[in-house]
Structure 1
Amino acid sequence: MSFAEYFPVWDKLDKAQQQMLLDSVTERSAPAGTILYSGGSDCLGLVVVKSGRLRAYSISGEGREITLYRLFERDICLMTSSCMMHNLQFDVNIEVEKDAEFWVIPPAVYRDLTEQSLAAAKYTNDLLATRLSDVMWLMEQIMWQSFDKRLAEFLLEESDMEGTKVLSLTHEKIANHLGTAREVVTRMLRYFQGEEMVRLARGTVELTNTEALSRLTGR
């Protein structure tokens, strides 16, 4: 499928604006584990995800990670072009979580587009508001929701996303997603196992009672 089919406001651009994008956009791919963008790195540009999965995360001063949100097929990554927004600073990293293909629009080109097109400017503002809302929701969960509920929710979401109840996740990886220590994750997973909600093995977590996990989250 072509770039035009993945760019949300393509039909609202005039021919010259469409051609400007086609002349400048580049298609790239990257394997899982690649760091596409680091908060202090050069501005990459606007990323349009064609396939795979990206992860936006932040790192604390002590080196602890927390996943802010994920990006899937057809999602747009605005944070990789944060240099366009001079009054906003983002200490966000973007990692390829599953082998990905994506398009990159150079920041200068996208800045010109938003200056020329009201539709593109509105879409950019809406996208930024959505991402900030995602982060605020996450902060609320961390502040007000108990860790057992957060972990159960995470495991259920991972299971839905991967289409399996056997998750290839280390305790360290889960801790990085949830912004906590590995020991905290290990203790809670062992409790879940004692309650027969999960079965633990080296490098995997099997969900054995999704109904109980769902009840724990209040779903």
Structure 2
Amino acid sequence: MMDKLIENFSTVFERILIDEIAEVGTLMTIKEGEKIIEIGQYIKGMPLLLSGAIKILREDEDGDELLLYYLERGDTCSMTMACCLGATQSEIRAIAETDVELIMIPIRKMEEWTAKYKTWRNFIFDSYHNRLNELLATVDSIAFKNMDERLIAFLKEKSRIANTNYIVNTHQEIAYDLHSSRVVISRLLKKLEHLGKIKLHRNQIELLDL
């Protein structure tokens, strides 16, 4: 665990803080597709990602989901921090987009380090800023972009995170993430295929020229 902490955070935290993280943190491995945080759950720790990616989702009153943003190596989740410090229930769902390794930090240390280490405070503030910008980008996308533009951006981001031109998702799964319907997503994917942008396979999409 120490080697991965140094690899990911040596330019972010001083060595004494990295040592403390290694001492009190809990190393966790989560398989692709597994839930990490559920809506309504009380959160007892804050995750620091060592590898992989996590998607953060919101759910409306009808149970439909909307993808808010992804967390990647070196990230943490500001919504998780807020729930931890406020002892409130989670308003988001976190699912492993890929296989994930993370360290869970206890609440008591989050508060202690905020007062003790300037690098930790900066990391927390930067994380809030980054997540806010990602949320604003999601809101802008919903408000100002057509669904075909949102779909293309979604496919590009999935490809970047997985580092592959093959997206392994059903049309229904994509519809869930984009808060749309399977019929709409299937129609738009067919359109992109006709334009030579993608190639559709069974439960798989090959990106050609997006």
Tell me the TM-score normalized by structure 2: 0.86
Cα displacement (A) at 1:22:
3.3
Cα displacement (A) at 1:198:
2.3
| Cα contact 2:66–2:176 (8 A) shared by 1 | yes
Return 81-90 or 122-131, whichever deviates more: 81-90
What is the SS of the residue equivalent to 1:62? coil
Q: 2-side partners of 1:61 and 1:9: how far apart?
A: 39
| Cα contact 1:26–1:103 (8 A) shared by 2 | yes
Change (3 A) 1:186 1:200: same
What is the SS of the residue equivalent to 2:67? strand
Change (3 A) 1:195 1:22: closer
| Cα contact 1:50–1:102 (8 A) shared by 2 | yes
Change (3 A) 1:187 1:40: same
Aligned to 1:151: 151
| Cα contact 1:44–1:80 (8 A) shared by 2 | no
Alignment of 1:56-135 (within 5 A): 56-86=56-86, 91-135=91-135
- In structure 1, the gaps of 5 or more residues are 214-219
Cα displacement (A) at 1:123:
2.2
Q: Deviations over 1:3-51 (max 9, x none)?
A: 244336421x7x4x55543331111111112211123212131211112
Aligned to 2:13: 10
Change (3 A) 1:175 1:32: same
CA radius of gyration, larger in: 1
Aligned to 1:216: none
In the alignment, structure 1 residue 26 sits paired with structure 2 residue 26: yes
| Cα contact 1:198–1:205 (8 A) shared by 2 | yes
Tell me the TM-score normalized by structure 1: 0.83
In the alignment, structure 1 residue 190 sits paired with structure 2 residue 190: yes
Q: Deviations over 1:63-114 (max 9, x none)?
A: 1112111122222234333334439886111111211111111111111111
Q: 2-side partners of 1:201 and 1:157: how far apart?
A: 19
What is the SS of the residue equivalent to 1:98? coil
Q: Deviations over 1:174-217 (max 9, x none)?
A: 11222212121011112222333322232012234x1xx3xxxx
Q: 2-side partners of 1:84 and 1:163: how far apart?
A: 32
Aligned to 2:142: 142
Letter in 2 for 1:151: L
Equivalences, count: 207
CA RMSD of aligned residues (A): 2.4
Change (3 A) 1:42 1:170: same
| Cα contact 1:44–1:106 (8 A) shared by 2 | yes
